[in-house]
Chain A
Amino acid sequence: MESIEEMKARAEQAISGARLEIVPNPGPAGQPSLLLDHEHAFAVANFLRADPALRLDYCSNVTGVDWLDRTVKKKVKVKKLVDGVEKEIEETQEEFFPGYLEAVYHVYSIEHKHGPVVVRLRTRDRAEGAPLPSLTPVWRSAEFQEREIYDLYGIHFEGHPDLRRILMWDEFTDFPMRKDYREPDDYEYEPTPHDEVLEKAKQHYAPRPAEDGAEHLAAD
């Protein structure tokens, strides 16, 4: 398989205006990925699929990632005039990276038996329903997994044929895989007949505080 740099160059040549970016991987795996821009994501994905040398016809996995806002502190040596003398002083600079949500696609070629190529899409911010173009029309197997990302991260995939919650129930309002998600104290409290029966039963027996503290409390 050709290198990701060649892939990027050819895709940019084939699709005018496409802005691709290579996301390096500094870890031992060293697997770089291809970041697509929203406007041309569909066209680029189609190119990756249809190009005779690549033929990435199988999307094996789609997953979501939540990147929170972060500030990175860096120590930088700066030359400054101190009392008229130029000195090198170490300064701490803070760099702010706004958070975003990400969808990561792992695509393979069944025909050429190569892969994976990692394709990424990033939202502008972490707002609820932040949009991304759906790649389900290109890779059909992404349908349920994009639904799962919508369900758990709240990314809205535009052009998805059937974007509904898939694991959580339809009435659920939050996005459980976001890093700042807090579980509710009680998911779905409903009074049941059991409670009424219990209340009635309490009227029939005298409280026994010596044996059972809880009953005593309930009878008050």
Chain B
Amino acid sequence: MTADLPEIAESPQRGMSSHLAGELLEVSMGPQHPSTHGVFRMNVALEGEVVRKLKPVFGYLHRNHEKIGENTSYLGSMPYTDRLDYFCSMTNNWAYALSVEKLAGIEVPERAEYLRIILAELTRLVNHTSLLGFLLSDMGAWGTPLMYAFRERERVLDLFESLSGSRMMCDYMRFGGCRVDLPAGWMERARQIVDGFPRFLDEFEELIT
């Protein structure tokens, strides 16, 4: 049986055997996404296990936000910005609010500016902890690190919920400010969470290293 197979020589590239050298195999990968939304396809040309060419194919879940925007008011587009990336709804709100404010020449009060920055930084914590969790999950540390990261993320999302009424679809920014002011005791809770964050980072580092 083995006599028919060509000898596999030392390959200059990892994962590529000499008998596959020069032969391109076209593979259509996908459309696929681990959680099936925003599916994405790649047309790849493989030489052994080495990707020689790659053409991304997308549009399987294109919402055409511009078209939606044509049929709704400026403010009506605000909740859609939450859904562009639900790990960063606050910053997406902000980016949209900034562009409309620039367009219409609206000034934002100082307190609202501070609130926006605090919320954007909290969003960054949410986003980066999730990133670490998912990254480790994809690298094979299945489950546990993600749950640790999500535990921490959920603390910040509780803050968002107490402020905007929603964990992820906050719809909080408005043109020229923010929707509501902070509820009583919010800032104290936020401070506690931020103070406790370095502890989580140490714990997380110990968990994964």
Q: What are the residues of chain B within 8 A of A177 when measuring CB–CB?
A: 64, 66-67
Cα(A169)–Cα(B64), bound, Å = 14
Q: Which residues of B contact A169 (CB under 8 A)?
A: 59
A168 interface contact, C-beta 8 A: yes
| Interface residues in A111-144 (C-beta closer than 8 Å to B) | none
Distance in angstroms from A147 CB to nearest chain B CB is: 10
Q: List 14 A-B contacts (CB under 8 A).
A: A27-B105, A28-B102, A28-B104, A28-B105, A29-B102, A29-B105, A152-B64, A166-B59, A167-B62, A167-B64, A169-B59, A176-B64, A176-B67, A177-B66
B103 lies within 8 A of chain A by Cβ: yes
CA distance A168 to B67 in the complex (A): 14
How many residue pairs link A and B with beta carbons under 8 A? The number is 24
Contact A166 B58 (CB under 8 A): yes
Question: Interface size (A, Cβ < 8 Å)?
Answer: 10
User: Chain B 158-200 against A: per-residue CB contact (8 Å), 1 yes, 0 no?
Assistant: 0000000000000000000000000000000000000000000
Contact-residue size bin, chain B (C-beta under 8 Å from the other chain): 10 to 19
B interface residues, Cβ below 8 angstroms from A:
58-59, 62, 64, 66-67, 102-105
Q: A interface, by DSSP: helix, strand, loop or mixed?
A: loop
Query: Which residue on B lies nearest to A151, using beta carbons?
Result: B59
- Would you list the 7 A-B pairs with minimal beta carbon distance, nearest first? A28-B105, A167-B59, A167-B62, A29-B102, A29-B103, A28-B104, A166-B59
Chain A positions 20-49 with a Cβ under 8 Å from a chain B Cβ: 27-29
Q: Which residue of A lies closest to B105 (CB)?
A: A28
Q: A176-B64, A177-B67 are in contact. Are A168 and B105 (CB under 8 A)?
A: no
Which residues on A sit within 8 Å (CB–CB) of B58? Answer: 166-167
